A and B are shown apart, each in its own frame.
Chain A
Amino acid sequence: MEISLRDLVTVLHGMGFGTLFMMAFSGAIGVIYVTAFVGVQPIAQRATTLMFRFYLVSMVVLSWLTVLSGTYLIYPWYRAKPPAGTTDLSLYPRSLLLSSPRTSGWHDLGMEWKEHIAWFTPIAMTMVAYVFIKYGPQIALHRQLRNAVLGFTAAAFFATAVAGGVGAFLNKNAPVRGGAQIILYRGE
């Protein structure tokens, strides 16, 4: 059972960072909702507040790791140009997608959108975490701050859903492959 280095990094980018981040969204909305709407007293304990802060900071770190690994590790493999005369384009996902009108849209619309929209998420979530940490339970006193935080959280969710969804489909149509082979398990 083997996996290539590029497969491994892609899995880490999508499943490790991206999916973990996506899964954390419901918790983040819950944290903000409880803090801002439900009431302060039950969550005023120091340990709970610290846990909420840790949760949001973890999301921010995951969002930055996702976009940085995507932009500087995987994207260069995706967009690498094949040498002249190459007929097997399986190691060149962008060229593979563009080689057929049936798949070119995955690059023209899918990747072109994904590569940019993903970057809204760390910007938005960094702001959300900062405001949450700065104001804590006091955010309940600032209705406009709370509205902005929820608006940007929703936008970050949308951006992540687009980037993650398109990424999954791109990986189905033209996976990033190649690099050193890593043996995970030796079968009989």
Chain B
Amino acid sequence: MATTPNFHNETLRRPNGSGAAAILAAGIGAGVLGILALASDAIPAVNHVFQFAPASGDLSGVTTTSVIIWLLVWFGLSRHWRGRDVNLLPINLAALALLAAGLLLTFPPFMDLLEGK
């Protein structure tokens, strides 16, 4: 007789490591995006380096680099935490703080404030 799996059963509970890796990597990716956007806006040499696709300007380099760093971090953390249970509270706090920082760093008036414009 087929039975419905009981997903609330703690014995079937998957370790949270893979999820934690994805969450922290997303936070780091968001934070890096904010930092690189600020750096590219503030430092002409950085802006020049990030002209990956000249028609799209430094946006192409800022976003491509952020996505690559996000995926590499995710891959690394995932290998490290797979099959393990980790303390998610500090990881969540760090990821959400990085996300908030990233969002703030892309807000032009805040960028201008940091750059002293």
Residues of A within 8 A of B (CB): 40-41, 44, 67, 71-72, 75-76, 79, 108-109, 112-113, 115-117, 119-120, 123-124, 126-127, 130-131, 134-138, 140-142, 144-145, 147-149, 151-152, 155, 158-159
| Residues of chain B whose beta carbon lies under 8 Å from any beta carbon of chain A | 4-8, 10, 12-14, 16, 18-20, 22-23, 25-26, 29-30, 33-34, 37, 53, 55-57, 59-60, 62-63, 66-67, 70, 88-89, 91-92, 95-96, 99, 102-103, 106-109, 111
Residues of chain B within 8 A of A130, CB atoms compared: 22
Interface of B is mostly: helix
Q: How far is the CB of A120 from chain B (nearest CB, A)?
A: 6
Given A76-B55, A112-B108, does the pair A151, B60 have CB atoms closer than 8 Å?
A: no
- Chain B contacts for A117, CB-based, 8 A: 103, 106-107
Contacts of A116 in B (CB 8 A): 33-34, 37, 59, 62-63, 106
Are A148 and B16 interface neighbours, CB within 8 A? no
Q: A44-B5, A145-B19 are in contact. Are A119 and B66 (CB under 8 A)?
A: yes
Closest to A142 in B: B16
Given contacts A123-B26, A159-B103, A138 and B18 within 8 Å (CB-CB): no
| Known A134-B18, A142-B16; contact A113-B108, beta-carbon cutoff 8 A | yes
| Contact of A144 (CB < 8 Å), options: B16, B30, B60, B108 | B16
List the B side residues contacting A126 at CB < 8 Å: 26
If A116-B106, A120-B33 touch, whether A152 touches B19 (CB-CB below 8 Å) is: no
Which residues from B are CB-within-8-Å of A113? 106-108
